[in-house]
Amino acid sequence: MTAKAAAQGPANVYYGGQAVLEGVMIRGPEHMGVAVRHPHGHIVVHAEKLSSLYTGRARRLPLVRGMVVLWETMALGMRALAFSSKVALEGEEEADGEPAKFPESVFWGAIALSMVFVVGFFFAAPILLAHLLEFFDVHRIWIVAAEAVVRLGMFVAYIYFIGRVPDIRRVFQYHGAEHMTIHAYEAGRPLTVDGVRPFPKEHTRCGTSFLLVVIVVALIFFFTFDVLIDEGLIVRIASRIVFIPLVAAISYEILRFGARFGDHGAVKAMFAPNIALQALTTKVPDDSQIEVAIASFRAVLDSTMGIPPAELAEEKVALEAAPPLD
């Protein structure tokens, strides 16, 4: 995006992002920025231009763009999380007084285990639990419906219980700060704590909304699949994994529709559960957390305009001070 395009106003582009450990990642049309609160109190900022994979023609093709967004969410999110983890450890020391180290193998190993857990817990487990109904000679339609209800219930319960962990609650506060900052920018308000504070912590384009839409689309898609193709438990489990990209692609198009026509009464009512669910995944941030979200957003805006992120006057930390985002 050119500087001229960036200067035309907030209505031309959509910004997104996600919360990380003690920070926020913001994704713009061609750049991403991450800002993290260092254990010593200052803010560490990183910004970079995105790969053409995330900004090219595929990003604009219906259905295909949903698959790109699914991959982008995981890839950029993991990299931003790795960056925030490194910053968080900079203020810690080992028992011998040396700075704490964060081996890459440990991080990516944890990510791999997390992915296995997600697939097993949210896709395989509901099928296995619903499969128990076959011993009671329950009709196939009710078994598929039970699977969907179990999956939705597990998803909501999981979010509720992890939100009670203090560290995760802080992540949810940064999540709220991210939404509020994007709201302020899209409303043309100044990116200051006072300018951001009045806006809601929920947002229609939230990734939580995307996950909820995925679950609903998966219900309809796999209900149809199982009614038409009943080849046993193994095939049903495999179908849930193989068709994840397609379900995500359809869900993304529905979410874009909701974002575009969200002011219409019927559409607003249809997407009301998405906003309601964000009561669990977002919390009201404090001023210091809003400052971090603003720093991340400004890093993206500055990069879009071709301006290196400026040193943050209060904390005396510049972009070059940040560890590389590998």
Alpha carbon distances (Å) from 280 to 39, 62, 140, 257, 287: 26, 30, 33, 24, 20
Phi, psi at residue 231, to the nearest 5°?
-115, 20
Name the one residue in this structure whose structure tokens are 């106003």: 9
Confidence of residue 262 (pLDDT cuts 50, 70, 90): low
Average pLDDT over residues 97-113: 60
- Which of 139-143, 214-218, 292-296 is predicted most confidently? 292-296
Confidence of residue 307 (pLDDT cuts 50, 70, 90): low
Confidence of residue 98 (pLDDT cuts 50, 70, 90): low
- The answer to whether 249 touches 221, Cβ cutoff 8 Å, is no
Average pLDDT over residues 210-237: 82
DSSP per residue, 45-66: EEEEEPPHHHHSGGGGSTTHHH
The SS3 call for residue 162 is helix
Average pLDDT over residues 29-40: 91
Percent of the chain whose predicted confidence (pLDDT) is above 70: 83
- The answer to whether 141 touches 222, Cβ cutoff 8 Å, is no
Q: Is the dihedral of CA 167, 48, 208, 71 positive or negative?
A: negative
Confidence of residue 283 (pLDDT cuts 50, 70, 90): very high
CB atoms within 10 A of CB 199: 19
- Give me the sheet containing 31-37, strands edge to edge: 16-20, 23-27, 31-37, 43-49
Mean pLDDT over each residue of the chain, to the nearest integer? 79
pLDDT at residue 120 is higher than 90: no
